[in-house]
Amino acid sequence: MAIKAKKQAFAAPVEALACAHPGTILPPMSPKRAAIEKAAASVFLRDGFAGASMEAIAREAKVSKATLYSHFQGKDDLFGAIVRNNCQQMLVDIESSVAAGLGPRELLLAVGLKFLKKMMSDEVMAVYRILVSEAPRFPALGRAVQNAGPGPSCNGLADYFRHQTALGLLAVGDADVAADQFFGALLGGIHFRRLICVDAQAKPSEIKFRVATAVDAFLAAHQPKAPPTKRRKGA
C-alpha cells in the first residue's frame, strides 16, 4: 500500500479494530510514568490546569520532583501526554486495516463509533472542559494537545482519503478538510450539549445511529462519479 506518512501520524480513531490491531503507535508506558500520569490527571481535575503544580503532582504520585521532571518538561507536556494516552485508546493502524480487507464504509463506521464513544465519556469531557477554560491563558497547552491527538488523527485519516481517491474508491477534493469535517460531523450538537451539561450521557444506540448517518452522508458526498455510458449506434 503506497501511503507514506510519519509512523505516529498514520492512525485514526477506531473501535473494534483497536483490539484486532493493538496499539503500535507508542511503546508501552513504564509503571512509574503510568503512575505519574494517573496522579496528574487527578490533580488537574481537582485543581484545574492553572491551580495544579508540579509539586502537587509529585506528592500525589509519591515521587520526587527530580523524578517528575525526568519524565516531563512541565505541566503542558504532562497534560498533553494525558490527552495523547486518551487518543491512543482510539488508534488503529489504518494501513493494516485496509490490508485486512476493510472497505471505506466499514473502516469509517469503526472510526466514528470509537471516536464518538470516547469523546462523550466522562473522563474526556472533564479534560476537554479544562482545556477550553485554560488554553487562552496557556497557548502552549493548546498546541501540546493538538500535537498529541487531534492533529495526528486528522493527518492519518486525510492520508487514507488521498489513497482511496487515488484508487478511485472515493472522490475527495481536499483530504485535510474532509478529515476535519468528518470528525466535526460526528460530534455535531450532541457533544456540545453534553459539554455544557444539558444532555445526559447518550445511549449506545443513539451514538451508533449518529455515527452511521454521518458516515453515510460523508460517503454520499464523496462517491466517485460513474463514467458516462456510451450510446449505442442507432439508438
Q: Give the containing element (helix H, strand E) for 78.
A: helix 75-88
C-alpha cell of 147?
500535537
Phi then psi for residue 208, to 5 deg, are -60, -40
In the chain, where the domains are located = 8-221
Is it the case that residue 174 has pLDDT exceeding 50? yes
For residue 178, the model assigns a pLDDT of 96
Amino acid sitting at position 45: L
99-131 pLDDT, tens digit per residue, is 677 789 988 998 888 888 888 888 888 888 888
pLDDT given at position 96: 65
pLDDT at 219 over 90: yes
Give the pLDDT confidence score for residue 54 in this predicted structure. Answer: 93
Give the end-to-end CA distance of the chain in Å, rounded to a whole number: 43
Q: What dotted CATH number matches 8-221?
A: 1.10.357.10
Average pLDDT over residues 69-93: 77
* 22 pLDDT tier (thresholds 50, 70, 90): very low
Q: Quick one: cell of 201? A: 450521557
Q: What is the pLDDT of residues 176-186, one digit of tens each?
A: 999 999 999 99
Return the C-alpha cell found at 126.
Answer: 472533564
Q: Give buried/exposed letters for 205-231 (b at 16+ CB in 10 A, else e).
A: eebbebbeebbeebeeebeeeeeeeee
Q: Is the pLDDT of residue 235 over 90?
A: no
